Amino acid sequence: MKYTALSLLLLLTACGAEPSNSSSGNNGFVQDEVPGNNGGPDEPGNNGQVIELSLTEPTEGAVLTNSLVVVRGAITGTDEVLVAGTEARVENGEFVASLLLQDGTQTVTVAAGSKTATVSFTVDAQGPRIVVNSPPRGAFVDASRESEVVVRGFVEDAGGDVASATFNGEPLTLADDGTFEVVLTPRRGVNSLRIEAQDDAGNGSSAQRGLIYGDFAPVEGRAWNALTLETGTTLFPVIEEAILAAIDRETIDALIHQYGGGVDGLEILGVDFGEVDIVLEPRNGRLRARIWVYDLRIDVRITQDIMLTDIVLTGSVLADPAELSTDVYVSATPDGSIRASLGNARVTLTNFDLEIDGVLDVLANWLEDWIGTLAEDVLVNVVSKVVVDELFDPALLERGIEILGHRIDLSVLLTYMAIDENGVTVVADMETPPEAVMAGHEAPGVYTTEHETPFGRGERDVQLAFSDDFVNKVLFQFWRGGVLDIDFADLKGEDGVVSEQLTVQRFALIAGRDLLDHADPDTPVGIRMKHALPPIIAFEDGQVRVDMADVLVDLYIDDGTATRFATVALAMTLFIEITVTEDGPQLNFRTEASADLDDEPLFDMDDHTIEATIAALLETLPAIVGSQGLNSFFNLDGADVLGLYLTGGDVKVGDGYVTYDVGIDHR
């Protein structure tokens, strides 16, 4: 354990020692300036006896592996003994004192009257000091410019020699002055660099860095082939059912009155019909929509001037059914939007009849033409509003995703759309508006990968695929804006994962009792997590892997001053297994983490204990992000179209995409 001068001063004060006016020796402690080890001639002590002094612990040249050094020996003739300027406890002819010493060679002088004794020894309680000079923390390495990364730094040990060192688990060669240089061929994605060292006394230490290696797209650029959608023919009956549910009698009745009310001499008195049916048939380059209205009955009043006489006829026009067939043309526009239009509309009136007494043949023909035109206008309008305007609404391409209470809007840009007898295929890019990438962390661009668009095979309802580049871009935008930099204080409460009882008293058991010197025991301890690098998603080997390196965790005294007492660097990998249920996608998490004590500004602490504690604490991160963030990737805002929703299905992860082979139903 290492201690500061402030800790020592408090310890001395607690022991009742008075500061000495003498100068400091080479061990950093105040002591009497008495020449030689034996001083002058024997003199009587405070009990009238001759003072005799001898040191028994520690022994000359010893190597001690604890910062708390016990100095003891024998004394006669006095009960006033100073050990390195600190009053020792004397009892039954023995003196004892405890000193807190830094690593390195130490010399301690014991004085009783004019008698002195000196012992030199080595303290080696801490592991070697490891410094990584390059790469810097949060490094981006462009694969188009560099194929290798040079890792440079040095290892030193104040208490002795460095016995061994490793780089990512492999032996690391140190120069005579402790420096090292490693040429690394990084893999694409996140690379974690970890150096570990051990000294002759068995003390270990570590240091770590992270970097992202690969290709980077401009921050404001697109994520290419971000989304893929494929449907089979089994999807269309479900869509037909959803469309029928959206067509109510009031809509058709209103449309008939709207389109039939502008004809001179004709008044619509009422509309009635039976069932309505619709069929969507995928054809090469288009959808064929067919709609039937059965038992259509339109009650009319006809006023005609025949032979200078007004003739008023009242009755009904009937068709069973009135049938419309029309083509729906859907395509991607050059700006990435969606275009849908109708063409080749044709109406057939089956079993057409007139229940109007006295109607002339010429009027009957006119009525049949009129009802045919009316039916075409009405049914084309139904298809246009329900199928075109809702099912192919361009607004569907504007989405929003929320993480930890923050929202990012994005645009889906269609690059490919094809309709054939087997269904529909859509490929889309994704981009975010310029204002979404402002402020926050700096980076040369968004990490990108190279994958082929995953077209499906065989019969399916719907295959929906998200590329890792799509999720990486979304995470990058949240990282760039600082959204992923979490203060755990914001996560406390009934729905939080951090205990309200994380206090200085409790944390002192981990960080060391010196923490109690800086705050009252009941003062809360705060935790802030800052990402020096954005998380990187990889869809491979049947699971989602999220790599996070150079995550800096600040520990601070939460008393209004936010006094930081430690920073721990964390490298973490989050593994996610995805299953789909009727309630939607479910995410199951597993984590792997390593930690390194990066800085300790107030006092020195046990590296291994604090590192293990923070690594264990950060295992709660999946619960944090899973409950408030990552699930939203698979529940895109406003995805409900005509009441359609995804049902349970299979999830396939690999080759840069997470793909759902799912069914679609309507509510």
How far is it, in rounded angstroms, from Cα 249 to Cα 382? 11
Closest residue by Cα to residue 549 from 618, 493, 462: 618
Q: Which span out of 135-139, 403-407, 662-666 was modeled with the highest average pLDDT?
A: 135-139
How far is it, in rounded angstroms, from Cα 519 to Cα 507? 11
Q: What is the CATH number of domain 484-628?
A: 3.15.20.10
Which tops the pLDDT comparison, 80 or 588? 80
CA atoms within 13 A on the CB side of 155: 29
Ramachandran angles phi, psi of 383, nearest 5°:
-65, -40
Helices and strands per DSSP (H, E), number in the chain: 8, 39
pLDDT digits over 292-317, tens only?
999 999 898 888 765 555 678 888 88
**Is the predicted pLDDT of residue 539 greater than 70, yes or no?**
yes
Closest residue by Cα to residue 227 from 447, 411, 387: 411
Q: What was the pLDDT predicted at 156?
A: 95
Counting Cβ atoms within 10 Å, is residue 492 exposed (0-12), middle (13-18) or buried (19+)? middle
Counting Cβ atoms within 10 Å, is residue 42 exposed (0-12), middle (13-18) or buried (19+)? middle
Cβ atoms of residues 466 and 264 within 8 Å: no
Q: What was the pLDDT predicted at 623?
A: 58
Counting Cβ atoms within 10 Å, is residue 373 exposed (0-12), middle (13-18) or buried (19+)? middle
Least confident interval from 11-25, 270-284, 640-654? 11-25
DSSP-assigned letter for residue 419: E
**Is the predicted pLDDT of residue 633 greater than 60, yes or no?**
no
Beta bridge partners of 229: 426, 464
Q: What was the pLDDT predicted at 258?
A: 82
Q: Candidates 2.120.10.80, 3.40.720.10, 3.40.50.300, 2.60.40.10; correct CATH number of 5-123?
A: 2.60.40.10
* 129-217 has CATH 3.90.226.10 classification: no
DSSP-assigned letter for residue 232: -
Rg (CA), the chain: 41
Could you state, in order of their start, the residue ranges of all structural domains in the chain?
Answer: 5-123, 129-217, 234-391, 484-628
DSSP-assigned letter for residue 272: E
How far is it, in rounded angstroms, from Cα 363 to Cα 133? 96
Instruction: Quote the distance between the C-alpha of residue 194 and its chain's center.
Output: 23
pLDDT digits over 570-618, tens only?
999 988 888 777 666 677 888 888 999 999 999 888 888 888 888 877 7
Could you tell me the pLDDT band of residue 45, with boundaries at 50, 70 and 90?
A: low
CA atoms within 13 A on the CB side of 150: 5
How far is it, in rounded angstroms, from Cα 530 to Cα 532? 6
Tokens coding 640: 């409900």
Cβ atoms of residues 109 and 116 within 8 Å: yes
Q: What was the pLDDT predicted at 110?
A: 97
How far is it, in rounded angstroms, from Cα 480 to Cα 596? 24
User: Which CATH architecture best describes the domain 234-391?
Assistant: Super Roll (3.15)
Q: What was the pLDDT predicted at 140?
A: 97
Tokens coding 119: 């012992």
pLDDT digits over 432-465, tens only?
876 665 567 889 999 999 888 988 766 778 898 9
Ramachandran angles phi, psi of 285, nearest 5°:
85, 0
Q: What was the pLDDT predicted at 12?
A: 29
Closest residue by Cα to residue 591 from 564, 645, 551: 551
* Strand, coil or helix: 349: strand
Does 129-217 match 5-123 at the fold level? yes
Cβ atoms of residues 215 and 186 within 8 Å: no
Which amino acid is residue 529, in one-letter code? M
pLDDT digits over 400-427, tens only?
887 777 888 889 999 999 999 989 999 9
Counting Cβ atoms within 10 Å, is residue 312 exposed (0-12), middle (13-18) or buried (19+)? exposed
Ramachandran angles phi, psi of 165, nearest 5°:
-150, 145
**Is the predicted pLDDT of residue 9 greater than 50, yes or no?**
no
DSSP-assigned letter for residue 144: T
